Amino acid sequence: MRTDFRLLTSSWASPRLLRQAALFAIAVVIAIIMIFPLLWMFSGALKTKDLLLEETVINLIPPQPWQWRNFIDAWTTMNFNRFLANTLIITATSMVGGLLSASMVAYGFARLRFAGRTLLFMVVLGTMMVPPQVTAIPTFLLFHRLGWLNTYLPLIVPFWMGGGAFYIFLLRQYIMTIPTDLDDAAKIDGCSPIGIYQHVILPNIGPALAAAAIFLFLHSWNDLWGPLIYLTDENTWTLARGMLTFRRTLAEAAHGGGIAQYQIHWFLSLGAMTMLPVLVIYLLLQRHFVSGVVTSGIKG
Amino acid sequence: MIAQMRPNRFRMPRGEAWRENFYGYLFISPWILGFLLFLAGPLVVSLGLIFTEYAGFRKITYVGLTNIQELIQYDLRFTGSLRVSAVFAFWTVSLAIIISLIMALLLNQRFRGHVFFRGVFYLPAAVSGIAMTFVWAAMFEKDYGMFNQVLRIFDFDRIGWLTTVEWALPSYIIMRLYGVGHYMVIMLAGLQSIPEDLHEAAKVDGASGLALFRHITLPLLSPTIFFLMVVGLIGSLQVFTEGFMLTEGGPARSTLFYVLYLYMVAFIERRFGYASVLAWLLFLIIMGLTLLQFWLARRWVHYESEVA
């Protein structure tokens, strides 16, 4: 990050101070707009339904007593424990597979000079243009034939096969920045490419792996399309799939039985609970979060 | 001696070349397998499905160009969904680019606390996903939702955000714009890659702030803007989760996004042949957009290398 020397050298004349104050004020306004919905959610999750309907001022600090039971009530409307376990299994195994296979493939493209490398890498980049919806039907038929519907496999196995062009690209770009001297030294010591991958590349691509891990996590955590197509048995549902039905049944109840049925405070507590892991990861790993976006562009 | 230790870049010994080929293909083999099984194969199969009627389990019927004919001549839901997606993509991308540019310009001023504000501005983009979509359902709710709560405080009438034809699509645009942080981060990276000395030189020549922006910042930022346009358009054409979670295309198909319609034809109506036409059309649109934008880019995008 560059230092603004003009700030240090020029005297703090009032126009400059005024400018700083104005910029700061604009930033504060934008920040409030950005953060308000989240505060509304977290505070609302602790309010009673009646309060949400009646309050004439939005209390961002919910009045006592805080309704902690909203969290339990919402969580127990469906088998969310099971959904959480399913989501964690799918997310963890996809992440491991994605990181392992994508880093291997990326290493191959970055370092090994095999015939047809340039062409194949162009194919990798080209596959980013193919929307997943185009391949969805044949892939569904394939998994159906294999008898994999209502198992975790359709949501995991593709990640073990390169993880997707996005992750290969991300990791390859990072591997390219590691000096080849390290590889050469390992080679002289008698390391095969497998050894180099294991002892030189993997230990040195931590930040890129972190960025890829975040995106892999977010993908599995947020995916609705996959679970919707492959998981019809409620026992295999993920959180996202469960929340869809939660939303549907409650929205229908609202239409049928009037607003009294609409349990909005449950929406907020369930939303808060499922957002919490994402929020924690963002706060802890913000640097990797943003660097991944910048190196490889926005996703969908 | 040195030549033996460092393999020659242009001519490798035969054994060495074989070794590199072997290990190269070994390492990329997961991708090759995945490419054949989950990309190339399915792509060919779905191309074939275009000419068939197929419900997945019973027999498959060859119907020639009937599917394509139906799509062009009779399918009002198709033309409607195309229009919904186009309107949505246009407004989302253009507004997101303008807003993110303003936010990035602000953060690029490096006033006190700009790093903190960058983190806050990006926060909604970071948490966007299934949980946030869920919360949007609550925020747009007519009686309890945040938006109508705010309107109520200022004594305005309630709005049926997701339940009226005129407000449903704008609601989605608002929802997407909340995640403008994605655009902002890339826009900011683009701004920071502009060499400081260019601005300094122009200032010495007496350029005003606006002239500076118009003649230096904007041209040098155009590759970034162009990139955001392409990626943003492609992303907004593929909206699914929000649409399926919140409105399922309603009211009166006013939010029937293209991919939502594709999903319904394929996995609810089980018309795999007809859905394949829709899928391939989406593929062609996205490919066409990418190529068109690349072609346009060569005409108006100003890359930095041309300056040097």
Residue B35's pLDDT band, with cuts at 50, 70 and 90, is: very high
Q: How far is Cα A37 from Cα B183, in angstroms, rounded to an integer?
A: 20
Question: For A38, which residue in chain B has the nearest alpha carbon?
Answer: B124
DSSP string, B201-267: HHHHTT--HHHHIIIIIHHHHHHHHHHHHHHHHHHHHT--HHHHHHTTT-STTTT--HHHHHHIIII
Tokens of B236: 């907004």
Residue in this structure with the two tokens 């309010």, named with its chain if needed:
A47
Question: Which residues from chain B sit within 8 angstroms of residue A134, using beta carbons?
Answer: 42-43, 46, 279-280, 282-283
Tell me which of A47-56, B76-85, B137-146, B271-280 is least confident. Answer: A47-56
The pLDDT tens digits for B187-246 are: 998 898 888 887 778 777 777 778 888 888 888 888 889 889 888 998 999 999 999 999
Residue in B6, B12, B28, B244 to test binding to A, most A beta-carbons within 10 Å: B28
pLDDT at A9: 46
Measured in whole angstroms, the distance separating CA A59 from the mean position of its chain's CA atoms is: 30
Give the residue among A130, A108, A57 at the shortest CA–CA distance from B153.
A57
Q: How far is Cα A294 from Cα A288, in angstroms, rounded to an integer?
A: 10
Question: Which residues from chain A sit within 8 angstroms of residue B47, using beta carbons?
Answer: none
Give Cα separations from A297 to A74, A112, A124, B29 (angstroms).
36, 26, 16, 26
Question: Which residues from chain A sit within 8 angstroms of residue B35, using beta carbons?
Answer: 123, 127, 161-162
pLDDT at B61: 87
For residues A238-262, give the mean pLDDT. Answer: 73
Query: Beta-strand (E) ranges in chain B?
Result: 52-53, 61-62
Residue A251's pLDDT band, with cuts at 50, 70 and 90, is: low
- Say yes or no to pLDDT of A300 above 60: no
**Annotated domain spans of chain A:** 13-73, 77-262
Contact: B113, A294; criterion CB under 8 Å: no
Question: For A294, which residue in chain B has the nearest alpha carbon?
Answer: B186
The pLDDT tens digits for B257-301 are: 999 999 999 999 999 999 999 999 999 999 998 887 777 777 665
Average pLDDT, chain A: 86
Residues 6+ away with beta carbon under 8 Å from B140: B147, B161, B162, B171, B246
What percent of chain B is predicted at pLDDT more than 90?
51
- Say yes or no to pLDDT of B3 above 50: no
Task: Output the CA angle B230-B236-B239, nearest 5 degrees.
Answer: 145
CA dihedral over B10, B16, B18, B21, signed as positive or negative: negative
Question: For B189, which residue in chain A has the nearest alpha carbon?
Answer: A294
Residue B40's pLDDT band, with cuts at 50, 70 and 90, is: very high
The pLDDT tens digits for B93-151 are: 999 999 999 999 999 887 888 889 999 999 999 998 899 998 898 899 887 788 988 88
pLDDT at A295: 63
Residue B2's pLDDT band, with cuts at 50, 70 and 90, is: very low
State the count of interchain CB pairs (< 8 A) between A and B. 282
Q: How far is Cα B252 from Cα B165, in angstroms, rounded to an integer?
A: 7
Average pLDDT, chain B: 87
What percent of chain A is predicted at pLDDT more than 70?
89
Question: For B184, which residue in chain A has the nearest alpha carbon?
Answer: A294
For residues B45-60, give the mean pLDDT. Answer: 88
pLDDT at A1: 44
The complex's ipTM?
0.86
Contact: B153, A58; criterion CB under 8 Å: yes
pLDDT at B301: 55
- Say yes or no to pLDDT of A54 above 90: no
Query: How far does the CA of residue B225 sit from the closest CA of chain A (Å)?
Result: 12
- Say yes or no to pLDDT of A20 above 50: yes
Q: Which of A30, A224, A268 sits opposite B103 (nearest CB)?
A: A30
Contact: B111, A38; criterion CB under 8 Å: no
- Say yes or no to pLDDT of A19 above 90: no
Contact: B113, A53; criterion CB under 8 Å: no
CATH architecture of A77-262: Orthogonal Bundle (1.10)
Question: Which residues from chain A sit within 8 angstroms of residue B127, using beta carbons?
Answer: 38, 275, 278-279, 282
Contact: B42, A134; criterion CB under 8 Å: yes
The CATH homologous superfamily to which domain B72-121+177-307 belongs is MetI-like (1.10.3720.10)
**Annotated domain spans of chain B:** 1-31, 72-121+177-307
Contact: B26, A108; criterion CB under 8 Å: yes
What percent of chain A is predicted at pLDDT more than 90?
56
Question: For A277, which residue in chain B has the nearest alpha carbon?
Answer: B127
Of B154 and A194, the one with more pLDDT: A194
pTM, to two decimals: 0.88
Question: For A56, which residue in chain B has the nearest alpha carbon?
Answer: B153
The pLDDT tens digits for A109-135 are: 999 999 999 999 999 988 988 989 999
Q: How far is Cα B162 from Cα B166, in angstroms, rounded to an integer?
A: 9
pLDDT at A4: 52
Contact: A282, B27; criterion CB under 8 Å: no
